[in-house]
Amino acid sequence: MYEVELKVRADHEAVRESIGALDAEFRGTIEQDDTYYDAPHKDFGETDEALRVRRERIVETAGESGTESEDRTETAVLTYKGPLVDSESKTRREIETDVGDGNAIEEALAALGFEPAATVSKTRSIYAAAEEEWTLVCDRVEGLGEFLEVELEAEEDRIETARERVYDVLEDLGLDPENGTRTSYLEMLLDRTGSAAETER
């Protein structure tokens, strides 16, 4: 399965009314801490791959809109992301699985020689189409600002059709797909951190 995704910078308040007009249902708000790893046997930066452990906590559910959830139980997910497959979107092969204990999987990775590269922290509000399969997320990323992503899963032979649908959704929100970025939050954060370090020197 491939994840077809396009991300743009967007003011959440400015697009919220348009989201409602698309008949997208609010599914909840979560906090995510994504730790990305360097591999001992290859350079993920050169191969355009990623290995991530995501720790996630529920902040708000659809039935509790406007109130904070009492369920702060943390879950963890291990994700492999393959190289980008086109030059227009962030379409990648993605393999992920739930893990019962985030600490345990991080210890296992460390024992195998994988080292943490950086952690991206964000608050994510999720919306889903009532009768379609696309998902829209409003991300507030620590140190980077506000973004909007439209995502759609597709088999390899349906990637182009899925990408066209993602573009349509962005245009329906009054956003220009041409302003989309293929740069990941991790790359943005590392670039910003590196620039800050150069400035300090």
pLDDT tens string 1-20: 888 999 999 999 999 889 98
Pick from 64, 56, 138: which is nearest to 102 by CA? 56
Domain boundaries, the chain: 2-200
Instruction: Render pLDDT for 100-145 as a digit per residue (tens, 0 to 9).
Output: 899 999 999 999 999 999 999 999 999 998 777 899 999 999 999 9
- Provide the pLDDT for residue 199: 34
What top-level class would CATH report for the domain 2-200?
mainly beta
Residues 74 and 78: their CA atoms lie apart, in Å, by 14
